[in-house]
Amino acid sequence: MSRILTCTDLTLSYEKQAVVSELNIHVDEGDCLCILGENGSGKSTLVKALVGLIKPQRGTVIYEGLKRHEIGYLPQQSAAQKDFPASVEEIVLSGTLPRSMGYIKKENRLEAEKNMELLGILPIRKKSFAALSGGQQQRVLLARAFCAAKKLLVLDEPVTGLDPLVSAELYSIIEEKNATEGLTVISVSHAPERACHTASKILHLGGGGAQFFGTADEYLASEIGQKYLCADDHHHHHGERRKVQ
C-alpha cells in the first residue's frame, strides 16, 4: 500500500480560532477515510486544507505521487452554486479541464459521458444547472468531481439535504468507485453508521483535535465510537437502517 497523503502536527484556524490542532493522520492509496464529528468540530476546515484551499497555521499536508489537479473535490452546496449559468454537460466537462489545458479532447468527452451515465444525468445533459432539483445538482457536481479525480476524491457532506434513497444511491456509486477502481476517497459524513460499514479508516474530530483515528472496526469498539453511534441511533428513526443496506 503506498501512502498518498500525510498530515503532520496539522493546526488549522478559522476566524482566528484554532479548530483543528496537532492532527496526525495518513491516507493510503485505495483507502476510504470517513471524517465524523459534531458540527463546528472543524471537518470542513480540514477538508479545505486537504485540497489546498486554506493554508495550515502550523504543520504540513504532504501528498505523495499525487498532483493537486488530480484531486476531485465536492464542496458543500452553496447558494451561489445553485444559480450557476451553465449546462449540465459543461459543468461535468469542466472537471477534466486542468488536465486538458482548456482544450477538450475526445477522451475528456468520453469520460464526462461515462460519469454522466453512471449518475443517471445523461438525459438532462443539455439542461441548465440552475433549473435542476437539489438532488440532480448534486449528481452533476459528483460527476464533475469524478472527472477531476485521478487518484483522490474529497467530499464534504455529499448528501446533505437529499432524501435517504438518493443518499444511499450516491454513496453506493462512490463506494463502487473505491472498490473497483481503487479510487481513494476522503469523505465528511453525517451518517456514522453507513461510514462504519464502508470506510477503511475513521477520523473523529472534536474539541480541537482528533478524538479518534484508526480503522472502522477499532472505532466501533472505541468508547467515542459507541457513544456517537448511540446518539446517532436516537436521532434517526429505526426504519432507515434497513433501507440503506
**Residue 78 pLDDT grade (very low, low, confident, very high; cuts 50, 70, 90):** low
pLDDT digit string, tens, across residues 125-145: 999 999 998 889 999 999 999
pLDDT digit string, tens, across residues 163-181: 888 888 888 899 999 999 9
The 3-state secondary structure of the chain, one letter per residue: CCEEEEEEEEEEEECCEEEEEEEEEEEECCCEEEEEECCCCCHHHHHHHHCCCCCCCEEEEEECCCCHHHEEEECCCCHHHHCCCCEHHHHHHHCCHHHHCCCCCHHHHHHHHHHHHHCCCHHHCCCEHHHCCHHHHHHHHHHHHHHHCCCEEEEECCCCCCCHHHHHHHHHHHHHHHHHHCCEEEEECCCHHHHHHHCCEEEEEECCEEEEEEEHHHHHHCHHHHHHHHHHHHHCCCHHHHHHC
Which residues face 32 on adjacent strands? 185
Q: What is the pLDDT of residue 91?
A: 92
pLDDT at 45 > cutoff 70? yes
The mean pLDDT of 109-129, rounded to a whole number, is 95
Q: What is the pLDDT of residue 235?
A: 53
134-148 helix and 106-118 helix, angle to the nearest 10 degrees: 140
CA neighbours closer than 13 Å in the CB half-sphere of residue 37: 27
Q: What is the pLDDT of residue 105?
A: 83
pLDDT at 100 > cutoff 60? no
- Assigned CATH topology for domain 28-58+152-245: Rossmann fold (3.40.50)
Q: What is the pLDDT of residue 193?
A: 78
Q: What is the pLDDT of residue 168?
A: 85
Q: In this predicted model, which residue has the larger pLDDT, 39 or 243?
A: 39
